[in-house]
């Protein structure tokens, strides 16, 4: 294995000087014909050699029986022979000194065990010769740079040249996206259909494009992550400089988990992917259409410096739609400055609304657009402007587009996204706007989403990313001791007390409590802890104590405690007769602002997942949780707190003060550390984790090991 030659960097595969098409065909409507045809038609700047033992020439180009017969050294072999002859063809490439192959042929891993064996055989040849391979089972490679102009696919068009690189796991989808690129005005620098990713992966391409100055934004269509940890590492760094926009389809295979905890059950969808993309700073698009909208946005002449946005419109409805959509995406419709208002007032009729949104009403002329654009862009309280135009009679869209471009030249350091609400298809004047760095949309909602995407990227890039350190006050030895006791006993679960002790060993504050095996013990414990106390059953056979009436809160006296104790025991014996009871846990009454849940689950591919959400007994009903992959830094833990739907619950709310977010974030980070230090922790729930004005307290915990 180790004596294999070192393969060349990916650059030569994406920008070769010479290409052999192995399996080139004279028959039209075959892939072997179409690929050669595309290389010739779209003006590949290097030399092309068709390889076919039974043809003298194809498409007017001299053909060769073998790669080695080509008159020049070959950089890349594009392989389109039937699956049984791929190994042989790649072997020939290797022997002829070819640097890399693009295997279009299908019939590999995707068809089952026999195909997988074939794929391994091809990969062995590739490695032995020190080559690189894209595919197999892919749709090829495009490089739109005029210096290369390579279209080694069988699509019918060549996208326009630009700064977006695109890697697609589905070749067909990728190519249909490229068909639209021209229409949407998205310039493509390179496109790679990675197919089965036997050798070259999405991660390899990210690393290649990270350092390619011609690539400004990266688009991905992803079905699966081969190496999520490496993706996270690369993308996290890369997205600080270049945006990555991804559409992910399919669900992760997280369902395989036997989930007994809340965290485990809630983790069983594609949350791991969401977590991975969020932590990597990748902008996730929910559809190909949204991918386009986002990609178009990055063609803006300037990125927004803040979320302070102004809307300009000639119709009330779209203005309100835009304002609503913007608010929903967290954009800030800032007040216009008095100077801006004073400047604009004389230009418009009295019915116009000189606020934000600025409604110039239907009589607005191109000159009105021009003046308003300039005024808004010169307002120091505004960093982005979204002009909206609904075509009335008498005003041409092209003229308004020109006026927007003209007005926008007043300040080119601010972001402008336009909305031209055409009746059919893409609006007139769009090209002029795009050329001026003004991405243009048909609907206000799309523009709002796109602008918010730009802001998200800017904020992510500005966010400090310190190396992740171990939280202070973590006692690994104590943690190890607790887990080892359970392992020695062959138990799959830690007891309630062990679980809480484990949290305490990692510096997570827990509610004070004492174990009692008789009612007299319980009274003594309550006296020491001070009333009011809480009484809970201690039994490994009872997972959710409340469900069997085995949690009693607000016990204010010894008498009440004796009553509750008797009642609790009777209830448990009636509802769970088989449960072995070890006694009761007497806990101090913890007081706080709101009950949250934090936890750990383990994904077979993504590793330990951290969860945070609004919780207590309502967690399943609310289903308001967010996941990240451990470990997380402070900023990431804080972003979890603000990512839940009910984030407002943690702020000052209806007269009650704000929760201590730092304390919650610290608990999340400590759980991450626990998950990393103890791979045997399969699932962990802290529920509730009580949010307080100062600090946070773990009240109940469950840990499953394996």
Q: For the chain, count helices (H), then strands (E).
A: 23, 32
675: number of Cβ within 10 Å: 23
Per CB under 5 A, the list member of 687, 691, 697, 704 interacting with Mg ion is 687
The Cα–Cα gap between 429 and 405 comes to 10
User: Residue holding tokens 């509802």?
Assistant: 575
Smaller CB distance to ligand ADP: residue 511 or 609?
511
User: Residue holding tokens 């062995």?
Assistant: 124
The nearest distance, CB 684 to Mg ion, in angstroms, is 12
Q: Binds 660, which of Mg ion, ligand ADP, none (CB < 5 to 8 A, cut-off by type)?
A: none
β-strand pairing of 384-389 with 418-420: parallel
Smaller CB distance to ligand ADP: residue 229 or 617?
617
- Residue span binding Mg ion (CB under 5 A) among the ranges 58-66, 517-525, 631-639, 682-690: 682-690
Closest CA to 169 of 92, 281, 49, 249: 249
The nearest distance, CB 524 to ligand ADP, in angstroms, is 18
The nearest distance, CB 667 to Mg ion, in angstroms, is 15
Q: Binds 511, which of Mg ion, ligand ADP, none (CB < 5 to 8 A, cut-off by type)?
A: ligand ADP
Does residue 33 contact residue 125 with C-beta atoms inside 8 Å?
Answer: no
The nearest distance, CB 540 to ligand ADP, in angstroms, is 12
Distance of CA 565 to the CA centre of its chain: 50
Smaller CB distance to ligand ADP: residue 130 or 616?
616
The Cα–Cα gap between 541 and 548 comes to 11
User: Residue holding tokens 């039937």?
Assistant: 82
The nearest distance, CB 552 to ligand ADP, in angstroms, is 9
Give how many residues touch Mg ion by CB under 5 A. Answer: 2
Smaller CB distance to ligand ADP: residue 453 or 687?
687
Q: Binds 595, which of ligand ADP, Mg ion, none (CB < 5 to 8 A, cut-off by type)?
A: ligand ADP
Residue closest to Mg ion, measured at CB? 700
The nearest distance, CB 687 to Mg ion, in angstroms, is 4
The Cα–Cα gap between 683 and 52 comes to 58
DSSP 415-454: EE-EEE--SSSSPTTHHHHHHTT--EESSHHHHHHHHHHH
Q: Binds 509, which of Mg ion, ligand ADP, none (CB < 5 to 8 A, cut-off by type)?
A: none
β-strand pairing of 681-691 with 161-168: unpaired
Binding mask 639-678 for Mg ion (x = CB under 5 A): ----------------------------------------
Sign of CA dihedral 607, 610, 616, 622: negative
Cα separation of the two ends of the chain: 35
The Cα–Cα gap between 599 and 204 comes to 33
Q: Binds 412, which of Mg ion, ligand ADP, none (CB < 5 to 8 A, cut-off by type)?
A: none
596 in contact with Mg ion (CB under 5 A):
no
- Residue span binding Mg ion (CB under 5 A) among the ranges 75-83, 171-179, 565-573, 684-692: 684-692
The Cα–Cα gap between 366 and 506 comes to 65
The Cα–Cα gap between 372 and 421 comes to 19
The Cα–Cα gap between 145 and 525 comes to 77
Length of the chain: 706
Smaller CB distance to Mg ion: residue 402 or 700?
700
The nearest distance, CB 266 to ligand ADP, in angstroms, is 15
Per CB under 5 A, the list member of 359, 564, 624, 700 interacting with Mg ion is 700
Distance of CA 692 to the CA centre of its chain: 31
The nearest distance, CB 569 to ligand ADP, in angstroms, is 16
The nearest distance, CB 570 to Mg ion, in angstroms, is 22
The Cα–Cα gap between 105 and 85 comes to 10
- Residue ranges in contact with ligand ADP by CB under 6 A: 511, 534, 536, 544-546, 551, 553, 587, 589-590, 595, 616-617, 687-688, 699-700
The nearest distance, CB 556 to ligand ADP, in angstroms, is 13
Q: Binds 26, which of ligand ADP, Mg ion, none (CB < 5 to 8 A, cut-off by type)?
A: none
- Residues contributing to the site for Mg ion (CB under 5 A): 687, 700
């Amino acid at each position: 294995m180790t004596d294999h030659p070192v393969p060349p960097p990916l650059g030569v595969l994406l920008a070769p000087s010479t290409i052999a098409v192995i399996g080139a065909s004279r028959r039209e409507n075959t892939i072997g014909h179409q690929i050669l045809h595309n290389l010739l038609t779209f003006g590949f700047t290097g030399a092309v050699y068709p390889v076919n033992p039974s043809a003298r020439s194809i498409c007017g180009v001299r053909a060769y029986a073998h790669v080695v017969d080509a008159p020049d050294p070959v950089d890349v072999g594009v392989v389109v022979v039937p699956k049984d002859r791929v190994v042989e063809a790649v072997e020939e490439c290797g022997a002829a000194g070819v640097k890399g192959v693009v295997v279009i042929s299908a019939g590999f891993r995707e068809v089952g065990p026999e195909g997988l064996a074939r794929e391994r055989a091809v990969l062995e040849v590739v490695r032995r010769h020190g080559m690189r391979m894209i595919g197999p089972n892919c749709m090829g490679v495009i490089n739109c740079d005029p210096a290369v102009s390579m279209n080694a696919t069988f699509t019918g068009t060549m996208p326009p040249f630009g700064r977006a690189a695109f890697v697609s796991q589905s070749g067909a989808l990728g190519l249909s996206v490229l068909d639209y690129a021209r229409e949407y005005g998205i310039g493509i620098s390179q496109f790679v259909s990675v197919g089965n990713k036997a050798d070259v992966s999405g991660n390899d391409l990210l690393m290649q494009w990270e350092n390619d100055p011609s690539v400004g934004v990266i688009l991905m269509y992803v079905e699966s992550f081969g190496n999520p940890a490496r993706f996270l590492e690369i993308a996290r760094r890369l997205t600080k400089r270049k945006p990555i926009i991804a559409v992910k389809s399919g669900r992760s295979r997280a369902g395989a988990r036997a989930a007994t905890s809340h965290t485990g059950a809630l983790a069983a969808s594609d949350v791991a992917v969401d977590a991975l993309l969020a932590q990597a700073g990748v902008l996730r698009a929910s559809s190909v259409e949204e991918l386009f909208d986002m990609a178009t946005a990055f063609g803006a002449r300037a990125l927004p410096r803040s979320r302070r946005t102004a809307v300009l419109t000639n119709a009330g409805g779209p203005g309100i739609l835009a304002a609503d959509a913007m608010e929903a995406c967290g954009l800030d419709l800032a007040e216009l400055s008095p100077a801006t208002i004073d400047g604009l007032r004389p230009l418009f009729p009295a019915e116009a609304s000189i606020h934000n949104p600025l409604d110039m009403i239907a009589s607005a002329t191109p000159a009105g657009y021009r003046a308003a654009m300039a005024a808004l862009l010169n307002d120091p309280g505004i960093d982005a402007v979204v002009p909206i135009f609904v075509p009335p009679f008498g005003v041409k869209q092209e003229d308004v587009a020109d006026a927007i471009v003209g007005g926008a030249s007043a300040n080119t350091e601010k972001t402008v996204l336009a909305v031209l609400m055409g009746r059919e298809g893409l609006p007139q004047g769009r090209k002029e706007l795009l050329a001026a760095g003004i991405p243009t949309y048909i609907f206000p909602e799309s523009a709002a989403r796109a602008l918010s995407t730009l802001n998200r990227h800017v904020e992510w890039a500005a966010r400090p990313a310190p190396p992740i350190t171990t939280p202070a006050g973590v006692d690994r030895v104590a943690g190890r001791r607790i887990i080892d006791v359970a392992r020695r006993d062959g138990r799959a679960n830690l007891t309630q007390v062990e679980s809480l002790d484990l949290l305490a060993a990692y510096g997570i504050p827990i509610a004070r409590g004492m174990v009692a095996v008789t009612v007299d013990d319980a009274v003594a414990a309550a006296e020491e802890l001070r009333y009011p106390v809480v009484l809970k059953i201690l039994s490994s056979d009872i997972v959710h104590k409340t469900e069997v009436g085995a949690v009693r809160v607000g016990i204010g006296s010894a008498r009440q405690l004796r009553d509750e104790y008797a009642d609790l025991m009777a209830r448990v014996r009636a509802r769970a007769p088989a449960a072995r009871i070890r006694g009761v846990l007497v806990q101090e009454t913890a007081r706080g602002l709101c009950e949250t849940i934090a936890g750990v689950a383990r994904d077979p591919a993504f590793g330990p997942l951290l969860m945070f959400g609004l919780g207590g007994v309502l967690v399943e009903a609310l289903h308001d949780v967010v996941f990240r992959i451990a470990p997380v830094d402070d900023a990431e833990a804080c972003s979890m707190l603000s990512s839940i739907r009910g984030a407002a619950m943690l702020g000052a709310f209806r007269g009650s003060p704000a929760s201590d977010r730092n304390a919650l974030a610290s608990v999340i980070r400590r759980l991450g550390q626990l998950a990393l230090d103890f791979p045997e922790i399969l699932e962990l729930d802290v529920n509730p984790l009580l949010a307080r004005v100062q600090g946070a307290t773990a009240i109940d915990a469950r840990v499953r090991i394996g």
